[in-house]
């Protein structure tokens, strides 16, 4: 129910501020068996940061009480539209207290060791990888080495190092329909000085109101869980664990009660969210959220504040039926068109167009149901969330607001933007220059007396 419980990288993953509580009664067939109370809070902050706080108390028959707490910070690194990595780190501390009134031999060396180590530090590290609905996690539960006494041998403690305990976890959430989601989980706990354990869980969300799951652990433990969720904000569940089937009659089953509460509305700056309490498709969750005031960045870096937004009835999707549409601006820059389309319940097709630099990669985040508003001119605008990646490989997430139009109006805009201006052809008129007639001069030759003279006559 709460992955932050075992991996600090999940701090802020819900997209909401969220509180989780847990109460566990182990081995109910034994008097004085351990009971655990655990509470945690985590929330997303702007810039991909997540924070978390958790604390627990373990009572062992009123004899030994362990109390501890820690604070966590996580960071979300977006690789591209579908691939993300989270890192998380927790630090804290705790203490153990003995009730010497219930100890038969207060000088028992085992109790002396506990008293000498009453205060301890806590630190853990986690990393998760997300590819769409697939999730993989790795965590180191103890970054601080400590001494552990095995088999009541108080004279030869074993030094437990960080890599002596590791945890691997993977799960996938698939939506069979808008109302049914299925989650297979696989967890492996490595223990260098104890028993490593593999467990598998199959979880089913029904109408996002009821969930049921079954878990099998490698040491023959079987766990059944069922619970209810209300309006995607509140969850309550119960778990029944048989314990090892070979000794179940001696120990008795274990019981757990789980509680989860979303505090406030979904944070608009939260990216790549995954919530157990609200297991709907991400676009369905966004549709039902009412965000009163959100600061949105437009492509020209103008910041616009939107208020009183309302949710659309159906998702908007990319329309690539026109193929690649390019235009050249007056400055000689090449731009490409991104067109999103929506069919309303009455069958009307609405579209919106955004022009972006042609050398950048722009991807719409999912088939979204975004929000609409009315601008000061009285026109309807839609806000669509994109991840843009420039030619240097830097990515950023932003929301672009554009007016909604008919398909015909968008076609007209594209035609005007992509059609080169026609140059009117003028008829070619042949001009023949006037040539002035040149009349050669003539000279009359008169017969002379010389032997070589021409005969008498007219010559040119």
- Quick one: pLDDT at residue 133? 87
pLDDT at 339 over 60: yes
Least confident of 37-51, 106-120, 145-159, 165-179: 106-120
- Quick one: pLDDT at residue 213? 96
- Quick one: pLDDT at residue 418? 78
Q: In whole angstroms, what is the distance from residue 64 CA to residue 430 CA? A: 112
Average pLDDT estimate for 248-259 = 86
pLDDT, tens digit, 9 for 90 and up, residues 260-300 = 999 988 888 888 888 889 888 765 554 444 433 333 344 33
436 pLDDT tier (thresholds 50, 70, 90): low
pLDDT at 129 over 70: yes
Residue-range domains of the chain with CATH: 3-282 (2.40.160.40), 290-418 (no CATH)
pLDDT at 328 over 80: yes
- Rounded to two decimals, the pTM is 0.61
Closest CA to 13 of 128, 111, 123: 128
pLDDT, tens digit, 9 for 90 and up, residues 143-193 = 998 877 665 555 677 888 999 999 999 999 999 988 999 999 999 999 998
pLDDT, tens digit, 9 for 90 and up, residues 402-426 = 888 888 888 888 888 877 655 555 5
* H-assigned helices in 245-305: 248-251, 282-288
CB atoms within 10 A of CB 164: 18
pLDDT at 440 over 70: no
How high is the mean pLDDT of the chain?
80
Look at residue 380 and give its three-state secondary structure.
strand
CB atoms within 10 A of CB 176: 10
CA angle 300, 407, 397 (to 5 degrees): 30
Q: Which residue, chain included where needed, has tokens 């009660």? A: 257
Which tops the pLDDT comparison, 237 or 295? 237
Q: In whole angstroms, what is the distance from residue 75 CA to residue 71 CA? A: 14
pLDDT at 5 over 80: yes
């Amino acid at each position: 129910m709460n992955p932050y419980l075992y991996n600090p990288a999940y701090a802020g993953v819900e997209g909401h501020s969220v509180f989780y509580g847990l109460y566990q009664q182990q081995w109910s067939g034994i008097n004085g068996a351990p009971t655990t109370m655990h509470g945690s809070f985590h929330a997303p902050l702007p810039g991909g940061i997540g924070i978390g706080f958790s604390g627990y108390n373990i009572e062992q028959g009123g004899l030994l009480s362990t109390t501890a707490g820690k604070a966590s910070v996580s960071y979300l690194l977006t690789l591209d539209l579908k691939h993300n990595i989270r890192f998380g780190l927790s630090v804290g501390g705790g203490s153990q207290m003995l009730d010497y009134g219930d100890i038969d031999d207060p000088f028992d060396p085992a109790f002396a060791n506990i008293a000498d180590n009453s205060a301890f530090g806590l630190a853990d590290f986690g990393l998760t990888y997300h590819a769409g609905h697939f999730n993989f996690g790795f965590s180191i539960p103890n970054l601080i080495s400590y001494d552990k006494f095995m088999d009541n041998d108080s004279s030869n403690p074993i030094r437990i190092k960080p890599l002596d305990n590791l945890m691997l976890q993977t799960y996938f959430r698939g939506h069979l329909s808008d109302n049914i989601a299925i989650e297979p989980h696989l967890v492996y706990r490595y223990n260098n000085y104890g028993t490593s354990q593999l467990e598998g869980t199959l979880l089913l969300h029904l109408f996002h109101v009821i969930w049921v799951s079954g878990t099998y652990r490698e040491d023959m433990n079987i766990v059944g869980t069922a619970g209810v969720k209300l309006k995607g904000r509140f969850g309550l569940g119960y778990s029944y664990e048989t314990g090892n089937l070979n000794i179940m009659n001696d120990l008795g089953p274990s019981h757990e009660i789980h509680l989860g509460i979303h505090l406030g509305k979904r944070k608009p700056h939260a990216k790549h969210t995954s919530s157990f309490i609200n297991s709907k498709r991400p676009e369905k969750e966004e549709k039902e959220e009412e965000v009163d005031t959100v600061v949105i960045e437009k492509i020209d870096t103008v910041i616009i504040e939107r208020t009183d937004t309302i949710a659309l009835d159906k998702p908007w999707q990319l329309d690539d039926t026109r193929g690649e549409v390019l235009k050249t601006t007056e400055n000689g820059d090449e731009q490409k068109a991104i067109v999103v389309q929506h069919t309303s319940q009455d069958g009307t097709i609405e579209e919106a167009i955004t022009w972006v630099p042609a050398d950048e990669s722009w991807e719409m985040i999912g088939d979204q149901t975004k929000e609409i508003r009315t601008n000061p001119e009285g026109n309807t605008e839609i806000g669509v969330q994109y991840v843009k990646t420039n030619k240097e490989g830097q990515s950023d997430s932003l929301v672009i607001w554009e007016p909604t139009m008919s398909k015909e109006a968008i076609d007209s805009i594209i035609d005007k933007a992509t059609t080169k201006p026609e140059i009117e052809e003028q008829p070619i008129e042949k001009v023949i220059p006037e040539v002035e007639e040149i009349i050669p001069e003539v000279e009359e030759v008169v017969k002379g007396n010389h032997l070589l003279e021409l005969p008498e006559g007219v010559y040119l």
